[in-house]
């Protein structure tokens, strides 16, 4: 004997319960579910390229610090390189076109 689906309704419709939630599907507006878990397929996105006014740096350097030093050298921009004693940090100091000193910090492996 088949059980009438109308008689198999959830008796505890406490929507404030931390282990249950109401699941509605927009394409089925008259159907809803009281659920305790749902498995959704994963989505993997590739790298998104964001348009911006800056030029990409092309460098074969091992890391960003070496890449910045290489770029400054290629453009004949004077800079000062400093290793901070007692900290895993290296710094580059460069003057911008208005003469303001810019400090660039690069964490290093201690």
Q: Distance between CA 80 and CA 77 in Å, rounded?
A: 10
How many domains does the chain divide into?
Answer: 1
Which token pair is 84?
A: 């901070």
Q: 94 is in which domain, residue-wise?
A: 64-107
Provide the residue-wise pLDDT of the chain in tens; the chain has 110 residues: 666 766 666 666 665 666 666 777 888 888 777 776 667 677 666 666 777 777 765 556 568 888 899 889 999 999 999 999 988 889 999 999 888 999 999 888 76
Position 83 in a domain: yes
- Please name the residue ranges forming H helices in the chain: 64-74
Q: Distance between CA 77 and CA 106 in Å, rounded?
A: 18
Position 90 in a domain: yes
Position 72 in a domain: yes
Position 49 in a domain: no
Which residues on adjacent β-strands are paired with residue 107? 89
Whole-model pTM above 0.75?
no
Which token pair is 22?
A: 């109401």
């Amino acid at each position: 004997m088949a059980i009438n689906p109308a008689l198999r309704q959830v008796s505890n419709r406490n929507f404030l319960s931390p282990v249950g939630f109401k699941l509605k599907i927009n394409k089925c507006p008259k159907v809803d579910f009281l659920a305790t878990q749902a498995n959704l397929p994963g989505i993997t996105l590739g790298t998104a390229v964001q348009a911006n006014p800056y030029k990409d740096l092309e460098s074969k350097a091992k890391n960003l610090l070496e890449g910045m030093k290489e770029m400054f050298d290629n453009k004949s921009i004077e800079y000062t390189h400093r290793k901070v004693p007692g900290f895993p940090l290296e710094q580059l100091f460069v003057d911008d076109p208005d003469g303001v000193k810019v400090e660039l910090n690069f964490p290093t492996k201690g």
